[in-house]
Amino acid sequence: MIFQKIKGVFIDGKKDLCKKSPLKEYLSPKYVYIPLLQRTSNLKAEVKVGDEVKVGQVVATNEQQMNVRVHASVSGKVTAIKKVWHSSGKMVDAIEIENNFQNQLTESIKREENVDSLTREQLIKKMELAGITGLGGAGFPTHIKYKTKAKIDTVIINAVECEPYLTCDYHFITTYPEKLLKGATYMMKAADATKVVIAYKINNKQIREAVQPFLPKFPHVELFPVKNVYPAGWEKFIVEQVTKKTYNGLPAEAGVIVNNSATAITFADAVEMNIPLIARPISITGEGIKKPGSFYVPIGTKVSELVELCGGYVEGLDPLKYNYIAGGPMTGRAIFIDDLVVNDTLGAVIVKPVIEGLHPECLGCGKCADVCPAFLTPTEIKKAFERKDIKLLSDLNANKCVECGLCSYICPSHVEITEAVAKGKDLLRKGAK
């Protein structure tokens, strides 16, 4: 298939802020808050105040849409259903569980005795029962990808982590390299594919060094270095780099399924120990944090507790002169406080200085179009959105925006182009119905 080669831009990653520190475990918060929201779907609580719960117990579901299951990340008592701050930037209902620090496991968490004999269907069912989602930020239920009827020959593990500041995937991989290979292998079997490709940034040689010793036991796995550019972690970029094919809708059209590296590691535990998605890695970083670092924490942990583990904020921090970002600085969302909780899609909280002296007027330089990986004209889409011109939004292919943030990043006037284009994309979607 003929396609235009996706461009990339070198960005100062600022990853050294926390890259040199090892992954730290923080597994015993006094309370966790399990959000009753996944992606855009509200969940139904399956427990009530006063109930005792065990680690891994299903506490919320959404069986009306993609059969979502969410599990308790600690054992203890349900003490409230209350509002908490969420990475979406709004307050949502959450199940508050007071940790009894006994780590009581639900009966379903036990070693799988017949791992090697599990069928494709059984592996996909494990994904579903474990509530595995895309931990790279998308949060899409993983089992849905594997129910495709398309012929899949390759599973690509996205270990690129191209957003600046973030190192949670890097730390997770270098801490659990064999689990990465095991989880990827189980995904390959679930896809009925023949090989796995682990894509990583070429400058992250530590990932290759961590994985290399285990590769002889996994001959179907190969490593694939990609350039140190942004957005090298974009799914379509990776598929085109690895397979030399492209697609219009989903990677399955190119015979590929793509999963985040943290998702693969989590799936290894789901297959071998029947442990559902109850924890994830997260980076707490930025110039406003005293000792930035990456942590492995239960879902529902308060971010403010992790900030304390980092030594708090730099002395003299003026909240009005720092931005709080949930997620990466390119695609994340501005938040007001650090009181939000860790959910399945939250890979980082970044505290960085506000850029002063902005000149928020378009200069017509065209740099945003030059760097757009989807070959769009972002400023024109922004204007079409401001005029609410749905036909023009369609003609400008606003629906192809991947919301990577490059147009806002590259803009010399610091115009918030990405947000406007994303809203235009949403308007087009609604107008097309």
Q: What are the tens digits of pLDDT across the range 396-409?
A: 998 988 888 888 88
φ and ψ at 105, to 5 degrees? -95, 140
Domain-located, residue 320: yes
DSSP 8-state symbol, 166: -
Domain that holds residue 375: 367-431
Q: Can you tell me whether residue 357 is helix, strand or coil?
A: coil
User: What DSSP string runs through 264-328?
Assistant: HHHHHHHHHH---S-EEEEEEESTTBSS-EEEEEETT-BHHHHHHHTT-BPTT--GGGEEEEES-
Is residue 214 predicted with pLDDT exceeding 60?
Answer: yes
pLDDT band at 173 (very low <50, low <70, confident <90, very high): very high
Domain-located, residue 98: yes
Number of domains in the chain: 3
Same domain for 263 and 148: yes
Domain-located, residue 5: no
pLDDT at residue 432, as a whole number: 56
- Residue 431, both tokens: 């107008």
Domain-located, residue 11: no
pLDDT band at 356 (very low <50, low <70, confident <90, very high): low
Distance CA 362, CA 364 (A): 6
Same domain for 152 and 243: yes
Same domain for 293 and 260: no
Q: What angle do CA 28, 180, 291 make, to 5 degrees?
A: 45
Domain-located, residue 3: no
DSSP 8-state symbol, 95: E
Distance CA 93, CA 98 (A): 16
Mean pLDDT of 272-296: 97
pLDDT at residue 2, as a whole number: 40
Same domain for 256 and 123: yes
DSSP 8-state symbol, 341: B
Q: Tell me whether residue 233 is exposed, middle or buried, using C-beta atoms within 10 angstroms of its C-beta: 0 to 12, 13 to 18, 19 or more.
A: buried
Sign of the torsion formed by the C-alpha atoms of 92, 348, 427 and 43: negative
pLDDT at residue 403, as a whole number: 84
State which of 235, 252, 273 marks the end of a domain: 273
Same domain for 40 and 62: yes
Same domain for 259 and 120: yes
Same domain for 268 and 180: yes
Same domain for 283 and 249: no
> Around Cβ 111, how many Cβ atoms within 10 Å?
8
Domain-located, residue 286: yes
Is residue 89 predicted with pLDDT exceeding 90?
Answer: no
Mean pLDDT of 204-221: 97
Same domain for 149 and 265: yes
State which of 207, 239, 273 marks the end of a domain: 273
Same domain for 324 and 252: no
Domain-located, residue 358: no
Higher per-residue confidence, 172 vs 335: 172
Domain-located, residue 146: yes
CATH at 193: 3.40.50.11540
